Amino acid sequence: MKRAPSSHPSPPLVIEVKGASKAFGPNPVLKKVTFSVPAEHSFVLMGRSGSGKSVLLKCLLNLLNADTGELSLNGCHLAHASEKQHRACMQQTGVVFQGSALFDSLTVWENVAFSLLLPPRSMGTHLAKKRALSVMSKVGLATNVADKVPGELSGGMQRRVALARAILLKPRVLLLDEPTAGLDAIFSRLIMQLIQELRHALKATVLTITHDLRLAQTIGDTLGILYQGHLVAQGSAANIARHTHPEVKALLTF
């Protein structure tokens, strides 16, 4: 007997990594890593420093080329995409880099509106600032910080600026690299809550790189564990907690 088709079709895959490997000289960093993230899903990739997490993120952003494997983002197959296709893909992707990566010489609002001030948009400063202030309010930043420079803000406030910049163009995908690193417990909780709120407001697909177990358990629908370049485990937080791999157990009891 044929099975009746499901009335709830699976959501499309927005991020796909198939057999990705990357080495620097004789040193392999990623070893045939495979996972996928469906639309509006939150995938958290955990691992110790040097496990290959940030290298994988750079491959997804096309800042590095994987040696082998296939990577796609928003339906864009990165190895075969033209410059125009890749630019269109990145316009639907918001990124928070490790340490926020704000421009020290620009004001807060200029950092947030950076993509609006450059070609091809080249929006006027009045309209760009108005747009930046609107987005800043969504991440809890008051208008009185708009004309400050990043060095005048705390680490937690800088992370909010980075999030505001990431969501400026209402992206379909958010890529977050260590969004709570270096923050105290209070600011970490605020950033976790903010990520959840933004994810649901934008209906975004989220990939987060972290070694923060609390963050992973709070925002992750699925967790993946990288160890020495291998993805040694993936699943729900509950399933990961029962995993027997020694590195997984070490991370969860850190």
pTM of the model: 0.91
CA distance 162 to 111: 8
What number of other Cβ atoms are within 10 A of residue 100's Cβ?
Answer: 23
H-helix or E-strand spanning residue 230: strand 230-235
Question: What is the CATH topology of the domain spanning 12-92+209-254?
Answer: Rossmann fold (3.40.50)
Q: At what angle do helices 155-167 and 125-138 cross, to 10 degrees?
A: 120
Which of helix, strand or coil describes residue 90?
Answer: helix
Task: Select the more confidently predicted residue: 122 or 166.
Answer: 166
What number of other Cβ atoms are within 10 A of residue 121's Cβ?
Answer: 11
Residue 132 pLDDT greater than 90, yes or no: yes
Q: Is 70 in contact with 15 (CB distance < 8 Å)?
A: no
Q: Which range has the top average pLDDT, 29-43, 66-80, 203-217, 239-253?
A: 29-43
Per-residue model confidence as pLDDT tens digits over 17-33: 999 999 999 999 999 99
In this predicted structure, what is the pLDDT of residue 7? 57
Listed by start position, the domains of the chain span 12-92+209-254
Per-residue model confidence as pLDDT tens digits over 174-185: 999 999 988 888
